[in-house]
Chains A and B, each alone.
Chain A
Amino acid sequence: MSKLQRDRRLFLKHLGVGAGALVFNPFLDRLFLEAHAQSVSQQKLIIFYMNAQPYMGNPAGEFLPKGINFDIQQGKNYSNATAIPITKMVAGDWPTLMAPMAPFFQNSLVVEGVFHGAHSDPGVVQHGMRYAGLNGICGLAGGDSVAMKANPSIPHGPTIDQIIAGGPSGQGVTHSSVLVGLANSDYSWEKTYTEETLACFASGANSPVPYLSRTRALERKLFGQDFIDGKNLSVSDAGVKTARRLRVMDALKTDVVNLERNISSEYKDKLNVFLSSLDTYDKKKMAEASISCKPSAPSALAAGSAPEDELLGLVDGATLALQCGLTNVVGIGSGVERKHSTDIGFRRNVDAKVNNRWFEGVVSPSGTDPFYNADWNYHSYDAAWKEGNQRVVKFYVSLLARMLENLSGKRGVMPANTTVIFLSDRGMSSGGNHHGFNGTNGRQPIYIWSTNPALKAQANYIRYPTYSQYGRWKNFHALSDFYRTFAMAFGVNLPNFGVYGGRVLNEILS
């Protein structure tokens, strides 16, 4: 078994989600071969977006730093920025759900209370997943397109990939982002929202990049070709051979492990020599291909793979894209939906198409869905659901940690020039659904890890007062503000952007 394979299996084992198959794909070679021509020193951004139905959501407290007693004081006017408290976190504050990212704690910034779905009627918080607001312009069908609507005088703001990739003149660097994600949903409209959210995430409404929910689609984007039917393929011979070598190499190493079982140490040593020579050969071939990029092995995705394997494969592919300089913005989204009707019962995080394999193993102790007709508030949170929810979230967070470790080459070391945004589920904690989540829909935490000195990413926690808590909607701090501020951190000065916010969140800037 290769080291890479071991790493991945250990990774999954530690998560308790089982081992998937590690495979290699032909597109990697193209990545390798093209990578050396790319600059890898530019800023990189990873946005990880989790989109969950309310059932799947975790209460805000699960995501927020522990031990911080700050709360919004009722009646206090927080329009004065100096009144916004900034709390220095200590390691013990780190939420359990975010444990896989704890090694990066010192580069973190947690922002809570930046509202994303305002409406003149506080009770109307539509299904639209307003994290699309991070691109500054996307409103979604079925959602409230008013809340994050761009200032009419600025019809099209630069998108995040443009900002990150191109700086102030980023308009010329369009659509270099890679957007990957899974949108598992029983509700077609929820799935559509997830897809649209992902599509808008980094590229803007006027020229959305379809999100890539399968490895093949990722290949298509990176190669610019349709690989699905294998026609019109023009991958170089060298590329094919490299991809073949990677596949074969993994098989050989696995076979060595099998053979070692029944022989004495003397012969095991011989097989180790065989392995060592394989590694030498591999390195030599790598060098011959002028590959300056040494990414970790990506996963693969045969049709019908378990969703967690698919997502892992996509994330590893996206890591490669970042590592090799093919892109500098990766958006990863996962729509984990559950149909809120009784006919499905208690499947958890189920993608019906893959036979309940989505983090299977956690089932509700009940046989019916008692929540559908309930009050829509924290209703599905029995112990079994909680375990399932947290396992899902922990898996996502682990993917982030894996990406950072692969990018930095070191465990717990934040790679240079890299910024990560993690957006937790939009369910209970994010308030993305209008079904009675007024009490929590303003508490969407945004986790940021960054080496950008312009951001106050040094174990800081900032909590803004929210619209829903006190009805002070005219003074709330919105995602449009965050977006504008975030752009500033990368040297892009946007004008007053959103129609509801319009301020700069100086608290998050150094």
Chain B
Amino acid sequence: MVGWRTYKKMKFMVAVLLVMVFYQNCGPSFTTKVSSQLSSEDSLQTTKLSLEKRIVPLDSDQYVNSLQKFLVSSVDVTSLKTLSRPFERPNPARFSTDKTLVTVTDSDIEKAWSMAEFVAGKVASSTFLAKQNCLSLGDTSASCLNGLVSSWSKKVFHSNLTPAELAIYHKVLTDGNIHIPSPQEAFTGMLVAMLMSPRLVYRQEVGDSTGKLTSFEIANFLAYTLTDNPPDAELMLAADNNSLLDEVEREKQTRRLLSQLDTNSKLLKFFREYFLYSTMDSTKDLAQFPKFDFPAAVKDTDSLVQYLLKNNSDKDFWKQLMSTNKISVSTKSAPFYGLTGTYATQTIRDAPDQRVGLLTQPSWLVHFTKDDDNYAIGRGLYIRESILCGELPKREIDAIPALPIDDTMTLREKMEITTSKSCNECHAKMNPLGLAYQFFDHFGRYRVTEAGQPVDAKGALDGTGDQDGDFNNHQDMMRKLASSQTTEACFLAHSLQFWLGGSVRPGLAASQLQTYIDVYDKNGGNFKEVIIKMVSSPEAIQRVDAGGQ
């Protein structure tokens, strides 16, 4: 049994390791900070979250959602969705919300401009056709123009701009002459400028003179963080009233937004990105499994996550994720599980084939496969880094020997070449974890033999501190991982990283994490309570100068 003090310190170190991985490009100064904290007993106490003043680029979903809300015609919405999406991050450093590494590319600007032109044109056209603003009625008075700029800037930016800031868009509207070539064109230009503005592309978290986010910054922060959408009317009303400066109101708004999201795209986005199950790099020979349908596998996992969120998010959620024996199945995916028959919709049922938790979902398994075999090293590396928050020793690799091509050999036998002295220091931390899944083939189907031999999925788990030890198969290992407080802390650390973006300050993240571990524990493993705490607490809306405390 691990003592409480040891447990706390262990969790701290886990988080530190996570942060070290996360900030491995931050330079040696960070290592110094971490060492300093490890030697300080005080550092084990809870430290408040500390976020830098920052501008946060919208991701693709957020930008498109922000533009889409201006379209009233479903045809136009469909057309918008056919345009190339800007700000997509196919290979984020870890999460799409990791803002520290995101920069706008030339391609982003081109795509965003096309979208902005499209939306602005549609809005201007419908507005003028319906004569919905003063300019469309022929009024070019100063009050009309000022009102247009002011009202539209608020619709687009969801904040009140200063006169100097408004002047920028006023100028676009009135440059040269409001009649050149037409008032509608002038209005269109103003909208394009707003929809392309860095003020929209980058959400501001700068705060007032004390670093506390302004009411509108909070509204944008909550809305985009929780929903990937701009603030809705209720949130804007709260922003206008300055009530979002009050923690009770923020929590209320956060709960409201989360409650609307039982099939939450943002929650789902987190799980997709954390478990990496929605993408597949390998090419499969469908002659081996004609009914293989990867999108159906992803849909199964999405459905299972949504089921767990709906039914189990308030109690030991992490454990449920890692050890559930439920699956979600459809007609297309039934063959993955050795099932037959038809399913009208995604159906939740007990797994028929020894599956335990999300890491035995076909989608996750297939993500970590090669064209013709499992990718046990990849699976092991993922678990080491993303489930255990561990890391590999940093070693230069001279050459990577290819695994033998021999249908009579099991993958474990082929991977023997990775256990030489020079390789084993790293592979010992990956291979046992990855080989635990050998009861599944590279299509994610359960099996009992491999290369004509009984499957050997035995191994030993280390790095949990509280659940280390031998396991017989993936079920054993998954249950150990599910029960580990280390993996639970690691999950919450990743949550913190996802929900608050990547600029949690190095050196402080470990102690910050303790706050959320406490919330999670106090609420019986309620994941949504942790999210609420993460985004609505006073620390969540406080920003500090870069490099400051």
List A residues at the B interface (Cβ < 8 Å): 21, 23-27, 215-216, 219, 227-230, 233, 235, 240-241, 244-245, 247-248, 250-252, 254-256, 258-259, 262-267, 270-271, 273-274, 277-278, 280-281, 284, 300-303
Given contacts A270-B103, A277-B108, whether A259 and B181 have CB atoms under 8 Å apart is no
Whether a CB of chain A sits under 8 angstroms from the CB of B54 is: yes
List B residues at the A interface (Cβ < 8 Å): 52-55, 57, 102-106, 108-110, 113, 117, 164-165, 168-169, 171-172, 174-177, 179-183, 185, 188-189, 192-193, 196-199, 201-202, 204, 206, 545-547
Assembly CA distance A216 to B202 (angstroms): 37
A259 to chain B, nearest CB (A): 6
Q: Are B175 and A264 interface neighbours, CB within 8 A?
A: no
Given contacts A227-B181, A271-B198, A302-B176, whether A251 and B55 have CB atoms under 8 Å apart is no
Q: A270 touches which one: B165, B169, B202, B204 (CB < 8 A)?
A: B202
Q: Are B175 and A302 interface neighbours, CB within 8 A?
A: yes
Q: Are A281 and B53 interface neighbours, CB within 8 A?
A: no
Q: A230 touches which one: B165, B174, B179, B188 (CB < 8 A)?
A: B179
Q: Are A263 and B174 interface neighbours, CB within 8 A?
A: no
Residues on A with beta carbons closer than 8 Å to the beta carbon of B204: 259
Q: A264 touches which one: B53, B196, B197, B199 (CB < 8 A)?
A: B53
Q: How many pairs of residues, A versus B, come closer than 8 Å at their CB atoms?
A: 136
Residues on B with beta carbons closer than 8 Å to the beta carbon of A270: 55, 57, 102-104, 202
Q: Are B197 and A255 interface neighbours, CB within 8 A?
A: yes
Assembly CA distance A252 to B196 (angstroms): 7
Q: Are A262 and B206 interface neighbours, CB within 8 A?
A: yes
Q: Are B109 and A227 interface neighbours, CB within 8 A?
A: no
Given contacts A256-B198, A259-B198, A274-B201, whether A248 and B180 have CB atoms under 8 Å apart is no
Residues on B with beta carbons closer than 8 Å to the beta carbon of A219: 180
Q: B172 touches which one: A25, A247, A256, A277 (CB < 8 A)?
A: A247
Q: Are A300 and B176 interface neighbours, CB within 8 A?
A: yes
Q: Are B181 and A254 interface neighbours, CB within 8 A?
A: no
Residues on B with beta carbons closer than 8 Å to the beta carbon of A277: 104-106, 108-109
Q: Are A216 and B177 interface neighbours, CB within 8 A?
A: yes
Q: Are A267 and B54 interface neighbours, CB within 8 A?
A: yes
Q: Are B175 and A25 interface neighbours, CB within 8 A?
A: yes
Q: A266 touches which one: B104, B202, B546 (CB < 8 A)?
A: B546
Q: A251 touches which one: B106, B172, B177, B185 (CB < 8 A)?
A: B172
Residues on B with beta carbons closer than 8 Å to the beta carbon of A244: 185, 188-189, 192
Q: Are A230 and B53 interface neighbours, CB within 8 A?
A: no
Q: Are A24 and B199 interface neighbours, CB within 8 A?
A: no
Residue on A nearest B102 in the bound complex, by CB: A270
Residue on B nearest A272 in the bound complex, by CB: B103
Q: Are B117 and A263 interface neighbours, CB within 8 A?
A: no
Q: Are A280 and B109 interface neighbours, CB within 8 A?
A: yes
Closest 7 CB pairs of A and B: A264-B546, A230-B179, A23-B175, A251-B193, A25-B176, A277-B109, A248-B193
10 contacts between A and B (CB under 8 A): A25-B175, A26-B180, A241-B117, A247-B189, A248-B172, A251-B197, A252-B193, A270-B102, A300-B176, A301-B176
Residues on A with beta carbons closer than 8 Å to the beta carbon of B199: 255, 259
Given contacts A230-B182, A255-B197, whether A302 and B55 have CB atoms under 8 Å apart is no
B171 to chain A, nearest CB (A): 6
Given contacts A215-B176, A277-B104, A278-B109, whether A263 and B181 have CB atoms under 8 Å apart is no
Q: A265 touches which one: B169, B172, B189, B546 (CB < 8 A)?
A: B546
B98 to chain A, nearest CB (A): 13
Q: Are B54 and A227 interface neighbours, CB within 8 A?
A: no
Residue on A nearest B195 in the bound complex, by CB: A248
Residues on A with beta carbons closer than 8 Å to the beta carbon of B192: 244, 248
Residue on A nearest B169 in the bound complex, by CB: A251
Q: Are B189 and A271 interface neighbours, CB within 8 A?
A: no
Residues on A with beta carbons closer than 8 Å to the beta carbon of B172: 247-248, 250-251
Residues on A with beta carbons closer than 8 Å to the beta carbon of B180: 25-27, 216, 219, 227, 230
B491 to chain A, nearest CB (A): 28
Residue on B nearest A227 in the bound complex, by CB: B180
Assembly CA distance A154 to B13 (angstroms): 100
Assembly CA distance A487 to B180 (angstroms): 40
B262 to chain A, nearest CB (A): 35
Residues on B with beta carbons closer than 8 Å to the beta carbon of A23: 171, 175-176
Q: Are A247 and B54 interface neighbours, CB within 8 A?
A: no
Residues on B with beta carbons closer than 8 Å to the beta carbon of A266: 546
Assembly CA distance A227 to B546 (angstroms): 51
Assembly CA distance A265 to B181 (angstroms): 40
Residues on B with beta carbons closer than 8 Å to the beta carbon of A25: 175-176, 180
Residues on A with beta carbons closer than 8 Å to the beta carbon of B179: 227-230
